[in-house]
Structure 1
């Protein structure tokens, strides 16, 4: 992951995020800013309902950056958000189901328990 991050960084980007969601034990992502490697680890959730996780994570990072968060805080908050969205994913049909983007609203409304 570090080698890939360094190579991508050389292309002239400000930050590099290497996703490790398909690693066997932990969901580990790596942020590289050209000087420092920061790892973001969360428990891997055993579910087939992971449709849209990458799009959700990137949208959450963009939204958090737009709210003025620095990249490390934005990524930390986004990683927590997508982990809970996966944890509370929705069973639809027989295939890969979607993450639950509204779990916090459902929790506040008393529809969902932790």
Structure 2
């Protein structure tokens, strides 16, 4: 066998093994989405929040939990960064998040980065 064929077989086997370790439930369960990697909704975790201040992109670390709403995250970030985000939105993976929805609904993990899109 060629070396490239052997390497491809190793990569495929490693991917299958890693997938079976992460996905401990049956793949037919559509409600299951990597719960092993998602924090408990009541458990606190830290995410980065980016915002613009005087044309400079700044980042802060905000502690939150999955059962908090996006609006609560925005309020914490505004208070911590000492900024006003009048009518602004939280953006995650190029999507604007609704203030009344819970953070856990958007599959946000510890260490992820959100952005505040503030309106002046």
Q: TM-score range by the shorter chain?
A: under 0.3
User: Whose strand fraction is larger, Structure 1's or Structure 2's?
Assistant: 2
Q: Which has the higher contact order (CA 8 A, sep 6+)?
A: 2
Larger radius of gyration: 2
TM (normalized to structure 2)? 0.22
